Amino acid sequence: MSDVRTRGAVLFDFGGVLTTSVVAAFEGLGSELADDPRLLLRLLSKDAECSALLVAHEEGRIGERDFEYGFAARLRAHGAAVEGPGLVRRIQARLSPDPDMIALVAKVRADGYRAGLLSNSLGDDCYAGFDLPAMFDAVTVSGEIGVRKPSRRAYAIACERLGARPAETVLVDDLPQNIVAAQRLGIAGIAHRDAATTAVELARLLGPSHL
């Protein structure tokens, strides 16, 4: 069955969608700290202790400070000369807003569709500079709801807050695992790479507006 023009609501990820690449930010800091661009991402995905720290932080069970101290200790064990305080801010400093995607969110709403945010949080103030309540019809952040993507519960809460069934919703995300998990619930997925391509895919998937 085709997904073409059947949807009326969109969930947008934050980092790597409304901002420049999160992967590039981690790689840049890895190069700076240890001349290894993949070090941070490798530890967060492959090292059990780092993975547990990230999950606990994204789910709101530990704050930025505890995550930084734990992650820095694991980085030092792998040859990186780094201390905990300010580690998350050094990652965030490598991210910039994507004005084309911010404009696309506004256009989606102006065209009569509902737009929500569904984000795994990193840092206690990672959304500084963004007026999320003004930008979106609904905002769902992992650290506030206690569950993170790719959990089914995270998608269910985001859809409920947006007032849309999964079968009516599109997810725009830069991580393939989040897209795959959303599709299992009936949410259509767009693997974000750039604003122009995402805009074309949204035009294909969104049905007649409610204006």
- Show contacts of 156-160: CB within 8 Å, 24+ apart: 156/185, 158/11, 158/116, 158/118, 159/9, 159/11, 159/187
- Sign, CA torsion 176/88/64/19: negative
The residues with which 139 forms a beta bridge, in sequence order, are: 117
Look at residue 211 and tell me whether its pLDDT is greater than 60.
Answer: no
Residue 210's pLDDT is: 55
118 phi and psi, to 5 degrees? -135, 110
pLDDT at 2 over 70: no
pLDDT of residue 3: 54
Q: Percentage of the chain surpassing pLDDT 90?
A: 92
Tens digit of each residue's pLDDT (9 = 90 or more) over 11-41: 999 999 999 999 999 999 999 999 999 999 9
The CATH class, in words, for 9-20+96-205 is: alpha beta
Question: Once rounded to an integer, what is the mean pLDDT over residues 129-146?
Answer: 96
Residue 97 CA to residue 105 CA, distance in Å, equals 13
Q: What is the mean pLDDT of residues 107-130?
A: 95
Query: How far is the C-alpha of 160 from the C-alpha of 16, rounded, in Å?
Result: 24
- How would you class 66 by CB atoms within 10 Å of its CB: exposed for 0-12, middle for 13-18, buried for 19 or more? middle
| Residue type at 177 in one-letter notation | Q
Q: What is the pLDDT of residue 6?
A: 78
pLDDT confidence of residue 1: 41
pLDDT at 187: 97
- Backbone dihedral region of 186: left (phi > 0), alpha (psi from -120 to 50 degrees) or beta? left
pLDDT confidence of residue 4: 55
pLDDT in tens, 174-202: 999 999 999 999 999 999 999 999 999 99
